[in-house]
Amino acid sequence: MRIVFVHGACVKDGSWWWHRAAEALGARGISSIAPGLPSCGEAGAAAGAEGPGLPEDVAAVRSVLEQGDEETIVVAHSYGGIVAAEAAAEVATVRHLVLISSYLPEVGQSLTDFGDGAPASFLDPDPEAGTFGVRAELLADTFLQDCDVEVRSQAAAHLARQSLKVTTQGVRAAAWTQLPTAYVVCADDRGTPAHLQREFAKKATHTFELQSGHHPFLSQPVAVRDLVLNL
């Protein structure tokens, strides 16, 4: 069994964002990988209006999922659930999806279908450049309030400008309709309120709740490890 982690929006270096959960799983003999997302500038081409979007992110994750014949659990965070919905569809080795403070899009739905139409206050969109990002000064208090000083001091270095087009590009498949899917509600999340997560989770096979902020795999990696192992 292996784990494929899919990170959220406006960040890079997935191996850093997932490193604590990956280490906890590795201690139990479970391997993992965190592919980069091209729309976040992780494949050479710069993010922007002419840069990579959701289709390129899907292709990057799917190429990892299709490598080898090892049974796989996909663990996706936030925007990563949009990517995983299409990337994991009809991949024979994928046995389960785990969505953390994320989304279960129907075919044709995009990230904007889960919002109220206005950019969140913690985002910094640049329509002219075709990118968006997280306001660095709001990162710690919005997304990492329950993380330790080490994580909070390092996180800003792993932010990225992302192609704005990913917010409106719809998925072409919905793997969660084909696979057992666990939704992890982050009850203290200041980015995606818990009441919205609970609504999203109604479409999942199983729902779990953690008293955590937006990144429980950094603040509570053992809890995330145990949830994955129990699957």
Q: Percent of the chain beyond pLDDT 70?
A: 100
Does the pTM exceed 0.95? yes
Q: How many domains does the chain have?
A: 1
For the domain that residue 68 is a member of, what is the CATH number? 3.40.50.1820
Range of the domain at 136: 2-230
Give strand pairing partners of 75: 5, 98
Let me know the angle formed at the C-alpha of 105 by 186 and 7, rounded to the nearest 5 degrees: 50
Listed in order, strand segments (DSSP E) in the chain are: 2-6, 31-33, 72-77, 94-100, 131-132, 162-163, 181-186, 206-210
pLDDT band at residue 158 under the 50/70/90 scheme: very high
pLDDT band at residue 183 under the 50/70/90 scheme: very high
Give strand pairing partners of 181: 97
Confidence at residue 64, expressed as pLDDT on a 0 to 100 scale: 98
Q: What's the pLDDT tens digit per position in 1-22?
A: 999 999 999 999 999 999 999 9
Q: What's the pLDDT tens digit per position in 108-152?
A: 999 999 987 677 899 999 999 999 999 999 999 999 999 999 999
Q: What's the pLDDT tens digit per position in 18-58?
A: 999 999 999 999 999 999 999 999 999 999 999 999 999 99
